[in-house]
Amino acid sequence: MEGVIKESVSIDLLKSKMDDFAKERDWEKFHSPRNLLLALVGEVGELSEIFQWKGEVPKGLPDWKEEEKQHLGEELSDVLLYLIRLSDICGVDLGQAALRKLHLNALKYPVNGSSNEYENVNNTYSTTD
Ligand SMILES: Nc1ccn([C@H]2C[C@H](O)[C@@H](COP(=O)(O)OP(=O)(O)OP(=O)(O)O)O2)c(=O)n1
């Protein structure tokens, strides 16, 4: 794809690029925790609009046009970038926090837990599988 640099993408790389982006524009003053949270929620809204009124869609989005998938990627990215920036500005190491949370999740929901026990957690009204 034109203009896309294939590089390994880490949370730290994105964090550093967001920091550069804000510094270069003198936008650090706008990137307060509250502003970033509101921006994040706004982008979640834009992401939701993509799926709004479509009903359930199959995994992999096989019927979507390339432009629609690209748009989805843009909105997912906005959410990710604001989340990473918010974490950075709050002094939270998001990668480490997420690893810790995965560990806590695994303790809370052991692999051998009975499926009945998990029914409320994974209660879905419909599935496309
Ligand atoms: N003060 C700002 C404004 C923008 N961005 C960056 C982070 C997001 O990735 C993207 C958001 O840009 P827009 O607010 O222009 O939102 P969209 O790209 O979604 O455009 P639109 O809302 O017109 O669809 O730009 C930022 O870091 N800080």
Query: What SS3 class is residue 81?
Result: helix
Domain hosting residue 58, numbered range: 11-108
Helices in the chain by DSSP H: which ranges?
Answer: 11-24, 33-51, 66-89, 94-108
Q: Give domain status of residue 127, yes or no.
A: no
**Closest residue to atom 10 of ligand 1, CA basis:** 78
CATH number of the CATH domain containing 56: 1.10.287.1080
Separation of 88 CA from ligand 1 center, angstroms?
Answer: 17
List, chain by chain if needed, residues with CB within 6 Å of any ligand 1 atom.
21, 27, 30, 46, 78, 81
Q: Each residue of 62-77: pLDDT tens digit?
A: 999 999 999 999 999 9
What distance in Å separates the CA atoms of residue 98 and residue 104, rounded to the nearest whole number?
10
Type of residue found at 119: E
Q: Each residue of 16-34: pLDDT tens digit?
A: 999 999 999 999 999 999 9
Q: Give domain status of residue 116, yes or no.
A: no
Q: Give domain status of residue 3, yes or no.
A: no
- Average pLDDT estimate for 90-102: 98
Q: How many structural domains comprise the chain?
A: 1
pTM of the predicted protein model: 0.89
Q: Give domain status of residue 126, yes or no.
A: no
Q: Give domain status of residue 115, yes or no.
A: no
Q: Tell me the HSE value of 42 on the side-chain side, using a 13 A CA sphere.
A: 9
Closest CA to 89 of 44, 9, 27: 27
